[in-house]
Amino acid sequence: MEVKDWVTLFFPILCNGILLFVLTKLFETRQRKNLDSQTAKQKLDYKYKNFIEEILQIYCIEDTHTILQLLDKKFALFFTFTRENKVRLQEYATNITNMHTIWTNVSSIIDIVQNNEDCIIKGKNEKDISFWVDKLFDELVETAQICIKNIYERGDYAL
């Protein structure tokens, strides 16, 4: 066989090998990026779920004043967390907006009560706060259910 025949024989094999190597690396890179993205989303969902669980545990306290103080601290962290991760938490945007609106209502009532001399929640303010805090609880439970459903539907419960 001449050199020309050898080149004609091995050149397509060499080109196919290089092409397969490059395609394999592209698919591996894409798959690794998808896996990294899923892992990041999974960790974010778990952190979000844990935030909600911490807030829901506050409701076990019997003293309304203590509940409101703890909720004030936790919701400040919670809304900061949701603002920082707004893009990745897009599926919870409606629930987050509802919670923010409800918390704004609760905060406005708390501000009214704190402007009074005795700073005691009573009468109409007590009913309003009770209503909004219950509504906030319902929204938190609904969001937690969606979050847990998303985690288990994706099969991300291994973490």
Closest by CA to 53, choosing from 116, 149, 128, 140, is 140
Give me the helices (H) in the chain, please: 3-58, 64-84, 93-115, 123-153
> Contact, 128 vs 109, CB < 8 A?
yes
Contact predicate 140/127, CB 8 Å: no
Per-residue pLDDT tens for 3-53? 777 778 888 888 888 999 999 999 999 999 988 888 887 888 888 888 888
pLDDT of 21: 92
Nearest to residue 52, comparing CAs of 92, 105, 1, 6? 92
Tokens of 64: 């309304």
> Can you tell me the distance from the alpha carbon of 23 to that of 40, in angstroms, rounded to the nearest whole number?
26
**Confidence bin at 119 (pLDDT 50/70/90):** low
Residue 25 pLDDT:
94
pTM of the model: 0.63
Each residue's pLDDT tens digit, 81-109: 888 877 777 777 888 888 888 888 888 77
- Residues whose CB is less than 8 angstroms from the CB of residue 65 and which lie 6 or more positions away in sequence, other chains included: 121
Cα 93 to chain centroid distance, Å, stands at: 10
Whole-angstrom distance, CA of residue 32 vs CA of residue 12: 30
Is the pLDDT at 117 greater than 70? The verdict is: no
For the range 132-137, what are the long-range contacts, defined as Cβ-Cβ under 8 Å and sequence gap of 24 or more? 132/102, 132/105, 132/106, 133/67, 133/68, 133/71, 133/106, 135/102, 136/71, 136/99, 136/102, 136/103, 136/106, 137/56, 137/59
